[in-house]
């Protein structure tokens, strides 16, 4: 390969990472992190009539369910003991699936857990490769963790970008309502926690955000919490982020009615966030509902038995989706909705995918038939468009040298020009 061709390749690779950003006004997606596992196990997906879906399942979600985005989680070194609990997504896995998502013309939301296993309000464990010896209050040090977050985030994003899997959204931490990377209980962030405890947390986030801006400057940064059932707590969290100067673009929320309450509670939280942070769009990055086997209230932290409103049936699941979409359409700050684990489909043909069923997916775990609610998710897009129609754009004044149409002359435009001349000089 000639030097000229090598230079051109480098420029085009840089462009691929720089220009990744969402083209969609409203985002409808699913966390499909387990889809490759089901596919590799030979799992059958069927339509509502029980006939095998013969097209590529990612394309099915795109074309039939009208999803324009996919969320994929990333673990540092997935704990092999948790493989049948959904913990399999290492960097190679995410790279392969991420490229497939981008090749399908869909947006890619990268959900970085910064852990070897599930990160959530109860667990935010430091990856085992990020320290030696015994984990304690000072091992690893705060400085070491800040450096690890930055270098890991940067390394992952560079690798994904170089391999055609540049994320459009980067979620820095998963359900981080109480902080992240806990060494001991003293690292957890509560309203009563010390200023230094919160500062440690926001420094970690700022380190992650710095890496995102450097490698994928057009990607939107998502800060994700699960306090959708408590408007005051959600507002307080993002106020702390604002005070600390944490760089982010999108408020990400989990909303599960059996944990967070009924739709009026969610509505109050969304209204509070819109009033407090009018420039920050909100994405519901996780939601789901049971179509069978609803757990008893009080089990697994469940607070609400919502089956009187939405029975744990296929029809009840569909009704929940329809009601949720209608509610979200009333809030102008809500720009995105992701259904969590819609691809759930039993244990897989070889019984190797899952250890136990959740029964919240959009395919029946027994019959493998699609639940009717899957096709109702697109109500989010149609109702948002109806309630918030796009205003015609005013003609933009042309800027000499602006090749990518953003109204500015930046390094991206220079890179485009270099790439053009290198191609012409071949």
Catalytic positions = 175, 286
| Cα(334)–Cα(271) distance, integer angstroms | 10
Measured distance CA(93)–CA(190) in Å, rounded = 34
Distance separating alpha carbons of residues 135 and 124, to the nearest angstrom:
13
Both tokens assigned to 93:
């896995």
d(CA 271, CA 24): 23
Angle, vertex CA 58, rays to CA 379 and CA 335, nearest 5:
35
Distance CA 299, CA 384 (A): 35
Which residue reads 């969304």 in tokens? Answer: 270
Tokens found for residue 16: 């691929």
Q: At what angle do helices 91-103 and 142-162 cross, to 10 degrees?
A: 40
**Whole-number Å distance between alpha carbons of 208 and 195:** 20
């Amino acid at each position: 390969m000639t030097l000229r061709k090598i230079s051109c390749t480098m420029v085009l690779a840089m462009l691929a990472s720089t220009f990744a950003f969402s083209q969609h006004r409203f985002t409808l997606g699913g966390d499909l992190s387990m889809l490759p596992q089901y596919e590799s196990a030979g799992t059958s997906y069927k339509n509502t009539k029980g006939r095998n879906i013969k097209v590529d399942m990612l394309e099915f979600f795109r074309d039939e369910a009208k999803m324009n985005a996919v969320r994929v989680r990333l673990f540092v070194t997935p704990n092999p003991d948790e493989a049948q609990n959904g913990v399999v997504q290492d960097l190679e896995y995410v790279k392969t699936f991420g490229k497939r998502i981008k090749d399908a013309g869909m947006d890619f939301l990268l959900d970085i857990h910064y852990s070897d296993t599930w990160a959530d309000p109860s667990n935010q464990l430091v990856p085992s490769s990020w320290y030696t010896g015994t984990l304690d209050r000072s091992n690893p040090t705060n400085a070491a963790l800040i450096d690890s977050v930055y270098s890991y985030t940067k390394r992952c994003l560079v690798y994904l970008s170089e391999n055609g899997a540049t994320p459009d959204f980067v979620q820095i931490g998963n359900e981080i309502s109480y902080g992240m990377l806990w060494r001991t209980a003293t690292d957890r962030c509560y309203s009563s926690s010390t200023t230094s405890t919160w500062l440690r947390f926001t420094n970690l986030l700022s380190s992650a955000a710095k890496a995102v801006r450097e490698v994928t400057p057009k990607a939107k940064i998502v800060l994700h919490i699960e306090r959708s059932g408590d408007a005051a707590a959600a507002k307080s969290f993002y106020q702390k982020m604002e005070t600390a100067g944490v760089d982010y673009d999108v408020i990400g929320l989990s909303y599960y009615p059996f944990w967070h309450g009924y739709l009026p509670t969610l509505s109050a939280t969304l209204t509070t966030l819109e009033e407090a942070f009018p420039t920050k769009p909100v994405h519901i990055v996780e939601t789901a509902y049971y179509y069978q086997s609803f757990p008893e209230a009080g089990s697994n932290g469940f607070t609400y038995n919502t089956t009187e409103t939405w029975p744990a049936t296929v029809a009840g699941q569909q009704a929940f989706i329809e009601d949720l979409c209608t509610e979200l359409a009333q809030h102008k700050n809500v720009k995105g909705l992701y259904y969590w684990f819609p691809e759930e489909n039993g244990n897989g043909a070889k019984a190797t995918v899952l250890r136990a069923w959740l029964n919240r997916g959009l395919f029946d775990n027994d019959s493998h038939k699609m639940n009717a609610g899957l096709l109702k998710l697109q109500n989010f897009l149609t109702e948002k468009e109806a309630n918030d129609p796009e205003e015609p754009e005013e003609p933009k004044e042309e800027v000499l040298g602006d090749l990518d149409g953003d109204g500015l002359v930046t390094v991206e435009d220079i890179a485009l020009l270099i790439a053009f001349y290198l191609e012409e000089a071949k």
